[in-house]
Structures are given as C-alpha cells and as structure tokens.
Amino acid sequence: MPDLWTTEVSPNPADTPLAARLRPRSLAEVVGQSHILAEGKLLRRAILADQFSALILHGPPGTGKTTLARVIAAETTARFETLNATDANTAAVREKVEQARSWSKLRGERTILFVDELHRFSKNQQDVLLPHLEEGAIRFIGATTENPYYALNNALLSRSQLFQLESLTEPELCSLLESAISDERAFPENTISLTDEAACHFAQKADGDARKCLSALELAVLTSTENMEGVIEIDLSVAEESIQQKAIRYDAKGDEHYDTASALIKSIRGSDPDAALYWLAKMLHSGEDPRFIARRLVISASEDIGLADSGALRVALDAQRAFDFIGMPEGRIPLAHAAVYLATAPKSNAAYAGINAALSDVKSGKTLPVPVHLRTKTRKKLAKQAGKSDQELSYQYAHDYEGSYVPQAYLPEGRNYYTPTENGLEKRIKDRLDHLREKFLKSQ
C-alpha cells in the first residue's frame, strides 16, 4: 500500500497557471520588448554571442523579466538556478555559488543565478554577490520592479548591465492571446474561439501586464462550457466577466508616485487641463494621499502661475482647506477645480526664478552688507562714528512722497532678481516696475 506521506505524485501540467505553461522557449517566441531584443540590439547580441556576466532586468509586473531570464539560459545552454529575494538569505546565495563551482569543475558547465525581486535584498545581502561576480563564479541575472538606481547598491549596478522592460502594448497582448489559443501547451483538450472584441477587452484591461491578460483568458476558458460543436466560445460578455477591474500600477512610495505627480504638475505648467484631470484622477483612484496632491497644487500655484494670476494661490489654498473640511469622495471636486484653474491660468515663474537667483548669490558667498540708511538706529550711530555723512545715514520714508515712491537704493549693488513677464496680470506689474526702475536710474 503506498505511503500517502512520502509518495511523490507527478504534477498535473493543467494545474500550472497558463502564463507559466506558455513561457517562451526561445527569443523568437518572446512578445514585445523590441527596444532591447530586436535584431542588432545590445541585449540580443549579448545573448546570441553568449557574452555577458551580470544583467539586471527592471520593469513593471507582467512584462516578462523571469521569462526573459529563462530564455537567456536556454539560448546560452547554461544551468539555471533561481532564488527569490523575498525568502532567500546570504547562506542560500553562497550555497548556489558553491554548486555552480562544482558544476563548472566536474562538467565544465556555467551557471546562471537568477534572483527575482532583487530589491528585497538588503544592501549587505546585495554585497554578498559582488566577489562572486568579480571572479566569474556565476553569471548573474537580477529582476526588480523598483527603480534600480534607488533600490540597488551602486557597486552592484556598476558591475551589471541594466535593461528596462516596458509594458506590452494592446496589439502585443492581442497577439499573445491569439498565440495562446492555438498553442498545444495551453488547452490541449479544448478548441477555443476568441472574438476580436473579447481579445481587445482583455488587452485593454490588463494594462500592459501579460500575466494578467493570460490569467483572464484562462479563467474565461475554465468557467465556460463547450457549444454544440465542441468549441468554447469567448466573446465580449464572457471577457467582461473574467477581467472586470483594470489593473492600476501605482506604488505610493515608488516611481509611479513620483512620475504621476510629475505628470500632473507638468500638465498644469503646459496649460493642458485635460491631462491634469487625468493624472489627478489616476492618483485619487490609486489611493494617493489627497493632501499630498493639494500641497503639490499649492506649490504649482506659486511656482508656475505666480504673479501672472495671484488668484491661483488663493484657489489652491481654498481647495486644500475645502478638502480638509469635506474629505473624500466629494473632496475630489475642489481638487479638480484647482487643477483646472491652474492649468488654464496664465503662467509666470518669474518670482520663483528670482528667489532661486538670490539664494544662489547668498550661497555662493556674495553676501551683501545692509546699506547704512536701512540699518537700525544703533547701527547708524556706529556708522556715524565711523565718518558716514548725514545723507548716507538718511532713510527716506516712501509714504511721504508722491505715489509712495522715492528713488532710493535698497541693495549696495544694482542687481535685478525679479524680471516680470508680460503674461496675464504680471504685465501690469512689469509696466509699473519698468517705470520705477527707470526713475531710479535717472536719479543717480
């Protein structure tokens, strides 16, 4: 009688997820990533020439990082060993390296060590890889969904070639689905009919993620029955039930957070309210902290609109206060109000540029002394003792003069930090300031 606790049962291929069953077996079967795998591209040349020591593949989930690592191993006929950094430790790395050395001595085979979720390794754990890469004990491929320049050690980056994988396009995902329904590894016991509308729906909702796309197809097939002709028909209605929620890639602490915030502000700066509303909606839908959004809007109101429309800052601050008062979901309305106002307002960064220029002078050691006539009475008394004339010591009170202006130096050197534009209300400021500056120059 078999021992239920020790007898091994061969795994049923059908129990393996469809995305795993359909992993490409060669470069020719890889869908997408033509920017690094097309004829003549560096990575393709390195693979075919079998000339690489360390690669780091980074990109969003479902873009094929693990798949590409396996394809590379197959193309180079190297042994393929894997670790996942979420549950591996330095001892596991050293064990894999020692195995690689043994295989190299006994059989002359080289080993590719693939570490998935590489960013999960601490800086010290990443350092463990360095000496083995230096001596060539292993060939290394790491995969990460994080920005490698933030998540990985500089020493590891300097020893590796970086390749970014991009989300698959909708046509590429449709091509993947078409191949899947005819591949003998997918559904060998079924005949599948997939309509163009269903394929397009899967591709759109998967949002560039091949794994999600294939998983949705698999769910649709496994939950459908054959028709009278023995065919499983996947039409739009079935597809809509199988993949309802679009995957939004958004890491509130990672690249998506900063990239999307950057897109929002640059859309406002570029006077595109439609784009501003889209990026605002993405951030809100993805769970971004609305207060972070409100702060960015307040900054933009001064940085990008400035004195071309001083009302922009009031609108942004009012939106921030309104959100704090009413919260979500209605809080999206004042935030949208502010985003559209800022995007459609005239633009000027003159005040922002001015403070940056002044700070640059201060930081570079060009600190200027306060003119004597602007100093406190005590300082003036000391200046008089040092031989300063009454004229040099005399401060002229602007409100005692017509138009509340009197030509008088407020800097010991003639420097202009603020150069107003002719955009929006700032044109009026420019006209007045030009007049006052000309009047000052004539008085000298």
- What digits encode the pLDDT tens for the residues 165-193? 998 999 999 999 998 888 888 888 888 89
Q: pLDDT per residue over 396-422, tens digit each?
A: 778 888 888 888 888 887 788 888 999
Which residues are within 8 A (CB) of 255 and not within 5 positions of it... i.e. 6 or more apart? 146, 147
Res 15 pLDDT > 80: no
Tell me the backbone φ, ψ of residue 142, rounded to 5 degrees: -115, 150
CA-CA distance, 351 to 38, in Å (whole number)? 48
Alpha carbons within 13 A on the beta-carbon side of 164 = 7
CB-based contact 192:181 (threshold 8 Å):
yes
Listed in sequence order, the DSSP H helices in 108-169 are: 123-135, 148-151, 154-158
Q: Across the beta sheet with 111-116, what order do the strands follow?
A: 79-84, 111-116, 139-144, 54-58, 161-164
Peptide bond into 13 cis (omega under 30): no
Alpha carbons within 13 A on the beta-carbon side of 166 = 10
| Distance between start and end Cα atoms, the chain | 111
Q: What is the DSSP letter of 167?
A: P
Stretch 201-207: mean pLDDT, rounded?
88
Q: pLDDT per residue over 344-373, tens digit each?
A: 999 999 999 999 988 888 888 767 778 777
Least confident of 37-51, 327-341, 352-366, 400-414: 400-414
Stretch 423-441: mean pLDDT, rounded?
88
Which residues are within 8 A (CB) of 277 and not within 5 positions of it... i.e. 6 or more apart? 336, 339, 340
Q: What SS3 class is residue 3?
A: coil
Domains and CATH numbers, the chain: 33-164 (3.40.50.300), 170-242 (1.10.8.60), 261-344 (1.20.272.10), 370-443 (no CATH)
Using left for φ > 0, alpha for ψ between -120 and 50, and beta otherwise, residue 156 falls in alpha
Average pLDDT value over all residues in the chain: 86
Least confident of 162-166, 341-345, 355-359, 373-377: 373-377
Q: What is the pTM of this model?
A: 0.62
Q: How confident is the model at residue 1, as a pLDDT?
A: 46
Is the model more confident about 251 or about 309?
309
CA-CA distance, 118 to 319, in Å (whole number)? 41
Single-letter amino acid code for the residue at 88? A
